[in-house]
Structure 1
Amino acid sequence: MIVEVLYQELFIYGEKGNTEYLRQMFKDAKFVHTQLNDKPYFADNHVDLIIIEPISERHLEVVCGRLKPYAAKLRELIDAGAHFIAFNNALDILGKSLTEQSLGKKEEKETLNLFDYTTIRDLDDRYAELAVLEYKNIDVLAMSMGFSQYYGNTSNYIYDVKSGFGFNKETKRGGYRYKNAFLIEALGNVFMYNPEIAKLLLKRFDCDDSLPFEADAYAAHKQRSRLWKKCGIH
Protein backbone atom coordinates (compact mmCIF):
# COMPACT_ATOMS: atom_id res chain seq x y z
CA MET A 1 0.00 0.00 0.00
CA ILE A 2 1.28 3.47 -0.92
CA VAL A 3 0.06 6.61 0.85
CA GLU A 4 0.97 10.08 -0.41
CA VAL A 5 0.66 12.99 2.03
CA LEU A 6 0.57 16.33 0.24
CA TYR A 7 2.39 19.27 1.85
CA GLN A 8 2.34 18.11 5.47
CA GLU A 9 4.87 20.80 6.34
CA LEU A 10 2.12 23.37 5.70
CA PHE A 11 -0.65 21.76 7.76
CA ILE A 12 -2.20 24.00 10.42
CA TYR A 13 -4.40 23.52 13.51
CA GLY A 14 -2.21 20.64 14.71
CA GLU A 15 -3.53 18.37 11.96
CA LYS A 16 -0.11 16.83 11.33
CA GLY A 17 -1.05 14.49 14.16
CA ASN A 18 -3.77 13.00 12.01
CA THR A 19 -1.39 11.85 9.30
CA GLU A 20 1.19 10.71 11.84
CA TYR A 21 -1.51 8.49 13.33
CA LEU A 22 -2.25 7.16 9.84
CA ARG A 23 1.39 6.13 9.62
CA GLN A 24 0.93 4.10 12.80
CA MET A 25 -2.34 2.61 11.51
CA PHE A 26 -0.82 1.50 8.20
CA LYS A 27 2.53 0.45 9.61
CA ASP A 28 3.40 -1.71 6.58
CA ALA A 29 2.51 0.96 4.01
CA LYS A 30 4.94 3.11 2.09
CA PHE A 31 4.40 6.77 2.97
CA VAL A 32 5.51 9.45 0.54
CA HIS A 33 5.60 13.00 1.86
CA THR A 34 5.40 15.42 -1.05
CA GLN A 35 6.74 18.85 -0.13
CA LEU A 36 5.88 22.15 -1.75
CA ASN A 37 8.63 22.13 -4.38
CA ASP A 38 8.38 18.41 -5.15
CA LYS A 39 6.68 16.89 -8.15
CA PRO A 40 3.70 14.93 -6.77
CA TYR A 41 4.49 11.25 -6.51
CA PHE A 42 1.08 10.38 -7.98
CA ALA A 43 2.04 12.07 -11.24
CA ASP A 44 4.22 9.12 -12.22
CA ASN A 45 3.39 6.35 -9.78
CA HIS A 46 0.58 4.21 -8.45
CA VAL A 47 -0.88 5.38 -5.12
CA ASP A 48 -3.63 3.88 -2.99
CA LEU A 49 -4.41 6.88 -0.79
CA ILE A 50 -3.72 10.60 -1.12
CA ILE A 51 -4.41 12.93 1.78
CA ILE A 52 -4.30 16.70 2.25
CA GLU A 53 -5.29 18.62 5.38
CA PRO A 54 -5.93 22.30 6.27
CA ILE A 55 -3.38 24.83 5.06
CA SER A 56 -3.34 28.60 5.48
CA GLU A 57 -5.23 30.49 2.78
CA ARG A 58 -2.05 32.17 1.58
CA HIS A 59 -0.25 28.88 1.14
CA LEU A 60 -3.30 27.20 -0.39
CA GLU A 61 -2.99 29.55 -3.33
CA VAL A 62 0.59 28.39 -3.84
CA VAL A 63 -0.43 24.74 -3.43
CA CYS A 64 -3.10 25.16 -6.08
CA GLY A 65 -0.50 26.50 -8.47
CA ARG A 66 1.80 23.55 -7.76
CA LEU A 67 -0.96 21.00 -8.31
CA LYS A 68 -2.57 22.63 -11.35
CA PRO A 69 -0.33 20.87 -13.92
CA TYR A 70 -1.31 17.52 -12.37
CA ALA A 71 -5.05 18.13 -11.84
CA ALA A 72 -6.06 15.97 -14.80
CA LYS A 73 -3.85 13.12 -13.56
CA LEU A 74 -5.30 13.42 -10.07
CA ARG A 75 -8.83 13.25 -11.43
CA GLU A 76 -7.85 10.26 -13.56
CA LEU A 77 -6.58 8.43 -10.47
CA ILE A 78 -9.74 9.24 -8.52
CA ASP A 79 -11.92 8.08 -11.42
CA ALA A 80 -9.92 4.84 -11.44
CA GLY A 81 -10.69 4.26 -7.76
CA ALA A 82 -7.76 5.71 -5.82
CA HIS A 83 -8.69 6.94 -2.36
CA PHE A 84 -8.42 10.65 -1.72
CA ILE A 85 -9.15 12.37 1.60
CA ALA A 86 -9.21 16.13 2.13
CA PHE A 87 -10.02 18.01 5.31
CA ASN A 88 -11.27 21.49 6.11
CA ASN A 89 -10.13 24.38 3.91
CA ALA A 90 -8.17 22.09 1.58
CA LEU A 91 -11.61 21.82 -0.03
CA ASP A 92 -11.28 25.46 -1.13
CA ILE A 93 -9.07 24.57 -4.09
CA LEU A 94 -10.76 21.30 -5.09
CA GLY A 95 -14.16 22.54 -6.31
CA LYS A 96 -15.10 24.23 -9.57
CA SER A 97 -14.83 27.80 -8.24
CA LEU A 98 -13.60 29.81 -5.26
CA THR A 99 -14.90 33.30 -4.55
CA GLU A 100 -13.04 35.22 -1.83
CA GLN A 101 -14.77 38.22 -0.33
CA SER A 102 -13.67 40.85 2.17
CA LEU A 103 -14.70 44.43 2.96
CA GLY A 104 -17.32 44.38 0.23
CA LYS A 105 -14.93 43.25 -2.47
CA LYS A 106 -15.00 39.90 -4.28
CA GLU A 107 -12.20 38.11 -6.10
CA GLU A 108 -12.25 34.87 -8.05
CA LYS A 109 -9.41 32.54 -7.09
CA GLU A 110 -7.98 29.63 -9.03
CA THR A 111 -9.06 26.07 -8.22
CA LEU A 112 -8.26 22.60 -9.51
CA ASN A 113 -11.87 22.10 -10.69
CA LEU A 114 -11.89 18.46 -9.60
CA PHE A 115 -15.35 18.28 -8.02
CA ASP A 116 -18.75 19.78 -8.71
CA TYR A 117 -19.22 22.26 -5.89
CA THR A 118 -18.47 25.95 -5.30
CA THR A 119 -16.70 27.71 -2.44
CA ILE A 120 -17.35 31.09 -0.82
CA ARG A 121 -14.51 32.26 1.42
CA ASP A 122 -15.56 35.22 3.56
CA LEU A 123 -12.54 36.70 5.30
CA ASP A 124 -14.85 38.92 7.38
CA ASP A 125 -16.70 35.95 8.88
CA ARG A 126 -14.44 33.46 10.63
CA TYR A 127 -16.21 30.71 12.54
CA ALA A 128 -15.06 28.18 15.13
CA GLU A 129 -17.28 25.66 16.89
CA LEU A 130 -17.41 22.10 18.12
CA ALA A 131 -19.31 19.62 15.98
CA VAL A 132 -20.84 16.17 16.06
CA LEU A 133 -21.18 14.39 12.73
CA GLU A 134 -23.17 11.19 12.29
CA TYR A 135 -21.72 8.67 9.84
CA LYS A 136 -23.01 5.09 9.66
CA ASN A 137 -24.62 5.56 13.12
CA ILE A 138 -21.26 6.65 14.56
CA ASP A 139 -20.96 10.00 16.34
CA VAL A 140 -17.84 11.67 14.97
CA LEU A 141 -16.47 14.37 17.29
CA ALA A 142 -14.87 17.13 15.27
CA MET A 143 -14.58 20.90 14.86
CA SER A 144 -15.78 23.43 12.31
CA MET A 145 -13.30 26.22 11.76
CA GLY A 146 -12.34 28.71 9.09
CA PHE A 147 -13.71 31.21 6.60
CA SER A 148 -15.22 29.00 3.90
CA GLN A 149 -18.60 27.54 3.09
CA TYR A 150 -19.34 25.12 0.29
CA TYR A 151 -22.35 24.67 -1.98
CA GLY A 152 -23.40 21.75 -4.14
CA ASN A 153 -23.35 18.49 -2.16
CA THR A 154 -27.09 17.80 -2.21
CA SER A 155 -26.73 14.22 -3.42
CA ASN A 156 -23.04 13.73 -2.64
CA TYR A 157 -23.03 14.37 1.11
CA ILE A 158 -21.27 11.95 3.47
CA TYR A 159 -22.79 12.51 6.92
CA ASP A 160 -25.53 14.28 8.83
CA VAL A 161 -24.52 17.01 11.27
CA LYS A 162 -26.10 16.61 14.69
CA SER A 163 -24.45 19.71 16.13
CA GLY A 164 -22.86 22.57 14.21
CA PHE A 165 -23.39 23.08 10.51
CA GLY A 166 -22.54 21.09 7.43
CA PHE A 167 -21.22 22.01 4.00
CA ASN A 168 -22.50 25.51 4.73
CA LYS A 169 -24.50 27.24 7.45
CA GLU A 170 -27.83 26.51 5.74
CA THR A 171 -27.53 22.71 5.75
CA LYS A 172 -27.11 19.86 8.20
CA ARG A 173 -25.58 17.66 5.52
CA GLY A 174 -21.82 17.59 5.45
CA GLY A 175 -18.94 16.42 3.35
CA TYR A 176 -18.70 15.61 -0.33
CA ARG A 177 -18.10 12.17 -1.77
CA TYR A 178 -17.17 11.13 -5.29
CA LYS A 179 -16.21 7.46 -5.71
CA ASN A 180 -13.40 6.95 -3.16
CA ALA A 181 -12.78 10.66 -2.65
CA PHE A 182 -13.97 11.90 0.74
CA LEU A 183 -13.95 15.66 1.26
CA ILE A 184 -14.62 16.67 4.86
CA GLU A 185 -15.11 20.32 5.76
CA ALA A 186 -14.51 19.56 9.44
CA LEU A 187 -11.19 18.94 11.21
CA GLY A 188 -9.87 17.97 14.63
CA ASN A 189 -7.52 15.00 14.19
CA VAL A 190 -10.53 12.93 13.18
CA PHE A 191 -8.78 9.56 12.99
CA MET A 192 -6.96 9.98 16.30
CA TYR A 193 -10.05 10.94 18.30
CA ASN A 194 -12.64 8.78 16.54
CA PRO A 195 -11.38 5.19 16.67
CA GLU A 196 -14.51 3.73 15.08
CA ILE A 197 -13.88 5.88 12.01
CA ALA A 198 -10.22 4.88 11.94
CA LYS A 199 -11.29 1.23 12.01
CA LEU A 200 -13.60 1.78 9.03
CA LEU A 201 -10.68 3.21 7.07
CA LEU A 202 -8.55 0.17 7.87
CA LYS A 203 -11.34 -2.11 6.68
CA ARG A 204 -11.57 -0.25 3.36
CA PHE A 205 -8.05 -1.48 2.65
CA ASP A 206 -8.73 -5.00 3.97
CA CYS A 207 -6.44 -4.42 6.93
CA ASP A 208 -6.81 -5.81 10.41
CA ASP A 209 -8.84 -3.20 12.28
CA SER A 210 -6.85 -3.22 15.50
CA LEU A 211 -5.58 0.29 16.15
CA PRO A 212 -2.25 1.53 17.49
CA PHE A 213 -2.70 2.65 21.10
CA GLU A 214 -6.30 1.48 20.79
CA ALA A 215 -7.20 1.77 24.47
CA ASP A 216 -5.77 5.29 24.53
CA ALA A 217 -7.73 6.21 21.39
CA TYR A 218 -11.01 5.11 22.96
CA ALA A 219 -10.12 6.91 26.20
CA ALA A 220 -9.36 10.09 24.23
CA HIS A 221 -12.69 9.81 22.42
CA LYS A 222 -14.52 9.35 25.73
CA GLN A 223 -12.76 12.35 27.23
CA ARG A 224 -13.55 14.48 24.19
CA SER A 225 -17.18 13.35 24.38
CA ARG A 226 -17.38 14.49 28.01
CA LEU A 227 -15.87 17.84 27.04
CA TRP A 228 -18.29 18.30 24.11
CA LYS A 229 -21.25 17.55 26.42
CA LYS A 230 -19.91 19.93 29.07
CA CYS A 231 -19.92 22.60 26.37
CA GLY A 232 -23.53 21.74 25.51
CA ILE A 233 -22.65 19.79 22.35
CA HIS A 234 -24.43 16.45 22.04
Structure 2
Amino acid sequence: MRIIHLFADLCNLYGDYGNVCGLKRALENKGQNVEIEYQSIDDEIDVSGADFVFIGSATERNQKVALNYLQSYKDNIKAALDNGTVILATGNSFEMFGQSVTDCDGIKHEGLSFFPYETIEGKERIVTDSLCDTSLCGGDIIGFVNKASLTTGVTSPLFDVKQGSGNGKDDNKEGVHYGNFYGTHLIGPVLIRNPQLCEYFADMLIKKQ
Protein backbone atom coordinates (compact mmCIF):
# COMPACT_ATOMS: atom_id res chain seq x y z
CA MET A 1 0.00 0.00 0.00
CA ARG A 2 1.51 3.32 -1.09
CA ILE A 3 0.61 6.51 0.80
CA ILE A 4 1.87 9.93 -0.33
CA HIS A 5 1.94 12.78 2.17
CA LEU A 6 1.99 16.07 0.27
CA PHE A 7 3.50 19.19 1.87
CA ALA A 8 4.12 17.66 5.28
CA ASP A 9 6.30 20.69 6.03
CA LEU A 10 3.90 23.39 4.76
CA CYS A 11 0.49 21.92 5.54
CA ASN A 12 0.70 20.35 8.97
CA LEU A 13 -1.16 22.35 11.59
CA TYR A 14 -2.68 20.82 14.72
CA GLY A 15 -0.83 17.52 14.36
CA ASP A 16 -2.49 16.62 11.07
CA TYR A 17 0.42 14.30 10.25
CA GLY A 18 -1.33 11.99 12.73
CA ASN A 19 -3.88 11.15 10.03
CA VAL A 20 -1.15 9.39 8.05
CA CYS A 21 0.20 7.65 11.14
CA GLY A 22 -3.25 6.46 12.16
CA LEU A 23 -4.12 5.15 8.70
CA LYS A 24 -0.77 3.38 8.39
CA ARG A 25 -1.31 1.63 11.70
CA ALA A 26 -4.87 0.63 10.77
CA LEU A 27 -3.70 -0.85 7.47
CA GLU A 28 -0.81 -2.71 9.09
CA ASN A 29 -3.20 -4.15 11.67
CA LYS A 30 -5.11 -5.60 8.72
CA GLY A 31 -2.00 -7.27 7.31
CA GLN A 32 -0.96 -4.62 4.78
CA ASN A 33 2.59 -3.51 4.03
CA VAL A 34 2.57 0.30 3.94
CA GLU A 35 5.06 2.65 2.32
CA ILE A 36 4.85 6.40 3.06
CA GLU A 37 6.39 8.82 0.58
CA TYR A 38 6.79 12.56 1.20
CA GLN A 39 6.59 15.15 -1.60
CA SER A 40 6.78 18.92 -1.20
CA ILE A 41 8.11 22.14 -2.70
CA ASP A 42 11.02 21.55 -5.11
CA ASP A 43 9.98 17.90 -5.59
CA GLU A 44 8.46 16.57 -8.78
CA ILE A 45 4.89 15.96 -7.64
CA ASP A 46 3.81 12.57 -8.92
CA VAL A 47 0.91 10.82 -7.24
CA SER A 48 0.29 8.33 -10.04
CA GLY A 49 0.04 4.81 -8.70
CA ALA A 50 -0.55 5.95 -5.12
CA ASP A 51 -3.32 4.28 -3.16
CA PHE A 52 -3.86 7.24 -0.85
CA VAL A 53 -2.75 10.89 -0.83
CA PHE A 54 -3.02 13.15 2.20
CA ILE A 55 -2.73 16.94 2.50
CA GLY A 56 -3.12 18.62 5.89
CA SER A 57 -4.19 22.03 7.12
CA ALA A 58 -2.05 25.11 6.46
CA THR A 59 -1.82 28.78 7.31
CA GLU A 60 -3.52 30.97 4.74
CA ARG A 61 -0.12 31.99 3.38
CA ASN A 62 1.19 28.43 3.07
CA GLN A 63 -2.04 27.35 1.43
CA LYS A 64 -1.37 29.79 -1.41
CA VAL A 65 2.24 28.58 -1.72
CA ALA A 66 1.05 24.97 -2.02
CA LEU A 67 -1.74 25.91 -4.44
CA ASN A 68 0.62 27.80 -6.72
CA TYR A 69 3.05 24.87 -6.76
CA LEU A 70 0.34 22.31 -7.51
CA GLN A 71 -0.89 24.16 -10.60
CA SER A 72 1.90 22.60 -12.67
CA TYR A 73 0.87 19.11 -11.55
CA LYS A 74 -2.93 19.32 -11.77
CA ASP A 75 -3.09 16.91 -14.72
CA ASN A 76 -1.10 14.32 -12.78
CA ILE A 77 -3.38 14.67 -9.76
CA LYS A 78 -6.56 14.55 -11.83
CA ALA A 79 -5.36 11.43 -13.65
CA ALA A 80 -4.61 9.74 -10.32
CA LEU A 81 -8.10 10.54 -9.03
CA ASP A 82 -9.64 9.19 -12.22
CA ASN A 83 -7.57 6.00 -11.83
CA GLY A 84 -8.78 5.34 -8.29
CA THR A 85 -6.31 7.11 -6.00
CA VAL A 86 -8.05 8.31 -2.83
CA ILE A 87 -7.25 11.85 -1.64
CA LEU A 88 -8.02 13.20 1.83
CA ALA A 89 -7.49 16.95 2.34
CA THR A 90 -8.06 18.40 5.81
CA GLY A 91 -8.35 21.95 7.06
CA ASN A 92 -8.17 24.59 4.35
CA SER A 93 -6.22 22.34 1.97
CA PHE A 94 -9.40 21.01 0.35
CA GLU A 95 -10.28 24.58 -0.68
CA MET A 96 -7.44 24.43 -3.24
CA PHE A 97 -9.29 21.82 -5.30
CA GLY A 98 -12.24 24.11 -5.99
CA GLN A 99 -12.63 26.91 -8.51
CA SER A 100 -10.90 29.66 -6.55
CA VAL A 101 -9.76 30.98 -3.18
CA THR A 102 -10.20 34.73 -2.64
CA ASP A 103 -7.97 36.01 0.15
CA CYS A 104 -8.87 38.62 2.77
CA ASP A 105 -7.38 41.37 0.59
CA GLY A 106 -9.76 40.52 -2.23
CA ILE A 107 -7.15 38.83 -4.42
CA LYS A 108 -8.61 35.85 -6.26
CA HIS A 109 -6.34 32.82 -6.57
CA GLU A 110 -7.30 30.29 -9.22
CA GLY A 111 -7.96 26.86 -7.76
CA LEU A 112 -7.17 23.51 -9.31
CA SER A 113 -10.79 23.62 -10.54
CA PHE A 114 -11.56 19.94 -10.08
CA PHE A 115 -14.84 20.68 -8.29
CA PRO A 116 -17.51 23.42 -8.41
CA TYR A 117 -17.09 25.19 -5.06
CA GLU A 118 -15.24 28.40 -4.29
CA THR A 119 -13.86 29.94 -1.12
CA ILE A 120 -13.69 33.48 0.23
CA GLU A 121 -11.51 34.37 3.21
CA GLY A 122 -12.53 36.99 5.73
CA LYS A 123 -10.95 39.01 8.51
CA GLU A 124 -12.59 37.06 11.32
CA ARG A 125 -11.72 33.50 12.29
CA ILE A 126 -14.18 30.76 13.05
CA VAL A 127 -12.86 28.70 15.95
CA THR A 128 -15.07 25.93 17.28
CA ASP A 129 -15.48 22.25 17.99
CA SER A 130 -17.85 20.53 15.59
CA LEU A 131 -20.07 17.49 15.92
CA CYS A 132 -21.16 15.89 12.67
CA ASP A 133 -22.97 12.89 11.25
CA THR A 134 -22.06 10.87 8.17
CA SER A 135 -23.33 7.93 6.19
CA LEU A 136 -19.76 6.67 5.64
CA CYS A 137 -19.39 4.97 9.01
CA GLY A 138 -21.15 4.54 12.33
CA GLY A 139 -21.08 7.05 15.16
CA ASP A 140 -20.71 10.79 15.41
CA ILE A 141 -17.73 12.59 13.89
CA ILE A 142 -15.94 15.20 16.00
CA GLY A 143 -13.22 17.67 15.14
CA PHE A 144 -11.76 21.11 15.71
CA VAL A 145 -12.30 23.95 13.23
CA ASN A 146 -10.05 27.01 12.96
CA LYS A 147 -10.63 28.83 9.68
CA ALA A 148 -11.10 32.30 8.24
CA SER A 149 -13.04 31.23 5.18
CA LEU A 150 -16.49 30.42 3.85
CA THR A 151 -16.91 27.86 1.06
CA THR A 152 -19.95 27.95 -1.19
CA GLY A 153 -21.13 25.92 -4.17
CA VAL A 154 -20.51 22.50 -2.59
CA THR A 155 -22.88 20.10 -4.33
CA SER A 156 -21.67 16.97 -2.51
CA PRO A 157 -20.83 17.56 1.18
CA LEU A 158 -19.02 15.07 3.40
CA PHE A 159 -20.74 15.58 6.76
CA ASP A 160 -24.01 16.85 8.23
CA VAL A 161 -23.32 19.33 11.03
CA LYS A 162 -25.15 18.71 14.29
CA GLN A 163 -23.21 21.35 16.21
CA GLY A 164 -20.45 23.74 15.13
CA SER A 165 -19.45 25.20 11.78
CA GLY A 166 -20.35 24.18 8.25
CA ASN A 167 -18.84 25.16 4.92
CA GLY A 168 -20.64 28.48 4.62
CA LYS A 169 -22.50 30.89 6.86
CA ASP A 170 -25.47 29.22 8.58
CA ASP A 171 -24.61 26.05 6.64
CA ASN A 172 -25.30 22.63 8.16
CA LYS A 173 -23.19 20.82 5.58
CA GLU A 174 -19.45 20.34 6.09
CA GLY A 175 -16.62 19.28 3.83
CA VAL A 176 -16.78 17.81 0.35
CA HIS A 177 -16.96 14.34 -1.14
CA TYR A 178 -16.56 13.86 -4.87
CA GLY A 179 -15.76 10.29 -5.89
CA ASN A 180 -12.34 9.42 -4.46
CA PHE A 181 -11.81 12.94 -3.08
CA TYR A 182 -12.63 13.72 0.55
CA GLY A 183 -12.19 17.14 2.13
CA THR A 184 -13.05 18.47 5.57
CA HIS A 185 -12.22 21.50 7.70
CA LEU A 186 -12.12 19.18 10.73
CA ILE A 187 -8.62 18.95 12.17
CA GLY A 188 -7.23 17.58 15.36
CA PRO A 189 -6.40 15.11 13.54
CA VAL A 190 -9.73 13.80 12.31
CA LEU A 191 -8.72 10.14 11.73
CA ILE A 192 -7.20 9.87 15.22
CA ARG A 193 -10.18 11.44 16.95
CA ASN A 194 -12.59 9.28 14.93
CA PRO A 195 -11.25 5.70 14.73
CA GLN A 196 -14.35 4.54 12.86
CA LEU A 197 -13.53 6.97 10.04
CA CYS A 198 -9.95 5.72 9.95
CA GLU A 199 -11.26 2.16 9.69
CA TYR A 200 -13.54 3.25 6.84
CA PHE A 201 -10.58 4.48 4.80
CA ALA A 202 -8.46 1.43 5.62
CA ASP A 203 -11.20 -1.02 4.60
CA MET A 204 -11.96 0.96 1.45
CA LEU A 205 -8.33 0.98 0.36
CA ILE A 206 -8.00 -2.77 0.91
CA LYS A 207 -11.14 -3.44 -1.16
CA LYS A 208 -9.70 -1.37 -4.01
CA GLN A 209 -6.65 -3.61 -4.31
Q: TM-score, normalised by structure 2?
A: 0.89
CA RMSD of superposed structures (Å): 1.6
- Letter of the 1:121 counterpart: E
Q: For residue 130 of structure 2, what is the aligned residue in structure 1?
A: 131
Question: How many Å separate the matches in 1 of 2:84 and 2:190?
Answer: 23
Q: For residue 35 of structure 2, what is the aligned residue in structure 1?
A: 30
The structural deviation recorded for 1:151 is 0.6
The structural deviation recorded for 1:41 is 3.0
Aligned equivalent of 2:96, options 93, 98, 121: 93
Are the counterparts in 1 of residues 22 and 198 from structure 2 also a CA contact under 8 Å?
A: no
Q: For residue 39 of structure 1, what is the aligned residue in structure 2?
A: 44
Task: Report whether the alignment pairs 1:77 with 2:80.
Answer: yes
- For residues 108-123 of structure 1, what are the structure 2 equivalents within 5 Å? 108-122=108-122
Q: For residue 180 of structure 1, what is the aligned residue in structure 2?
A: 180
Q: For residue 17 of structure 1, what is the aligned residue in structure 2?
A: 18
Are the counterparts in 2 of residues 92 and 148 from structure 1 also a CA contact under 8 Å?
A: no
Question: How many Å separate the matches in 2 of 1:202 and 1:22?
Answer: 6
Give unpaired runs (5+ residues) of structure 2. none
- Letter of the 1:132 counterpart: L
Question: How many Å separate the matches in 2 of 1:205 and 1:127?
Answer: 33
The structural deviation recorded for 1:76 is 1.9
- Letter of the 1:139 counterpart: D
Question: How many Å separate the matches in 2 of 1:56 and 1:96?
Answer: 19
Q: For residue 56 of structure 2, what is the aligned residue in structure 1?
A: 53
- Letter of the 1:47 counterpart: A
Q: Secondary structure at the match of 2:170?
A: coil
Count residues in correspondence.
200
Q: Secondary structure at the match of 1:196?
A: helix
The structural deviation recorded for 1:176 is 1.0
Q: Secondary structure at the match of 1:41?
A: coil
Question: How many Å separate the matches in 1 of 2:176 and 2:13?
Answer: 21
Q: For residue 148 of structure 2, what is the aligned residue in structure 1?
A: 147
The structural deviation recorded for 1:146 is 1.2
Question: How many Å separate the matches in 2 of 1:176 and 1:17?
Answer: 21
Identify if the C-alpha distance between structure 1 residues 131 and 199 changes in structure 2 by more than 3 Å, giving closer, same or farther. Answer: same
The structural deviation recorded for 1:161 is 0.5
- Letter of the 2:68 counterpart: G
Percent identity of equivalent pairs: 23
Question: How many Å separate the matches in 2 of 1:203 and 1:15?
Answer: 21
Higher relative contact order (CA 8 A, sep 6+): 2
Are the counterparts in 2 of residues 127 and 144 from structure 1 also a CA contact under 8 Å?
A: yes
Q: Secondary structure at the match of 2:62?
A: helix
Question: How many Å separate the matches in 2 of 1:76 and 1:70?
Answer: 10
Question: How many Å separate the matches in 1 of 2:115 and 2:190?
Answer: 22
1:63-88: CA deviation from partner (whole Å, max 9, x where unpaired): 11221111022112212221111011
Question: How many Å separate the matches in 1 of 2:14 and 2:40?
Answer: 18
Question: How many Å separate the matches in 1 of 2:144 and 2:54?
Answer: 18
Question: How many Å separate the matches in 1 of 2:84 and 2:61?
Answer: 31
The structural deviation recorded for 1:57 is 1.5
Give unpaired runs (5+ residues) of structure 1. 208-234
Task: Report whether the alignment pairs 1:196 with 2:189.
Answer: no
Q: For residue 215 of structure 1, what is the aligned residue in structure 2?
A: none
Q: TM-score, normalised by structure 1?
A: 0.80
- Letter of the 2:133 counterpart: E
The structural deviation recorded for 1:4 is 0.6
Are the counterparts in 1 of residues 46 and 76 from structure 2 also a CA contact under 8 Å?
A: no
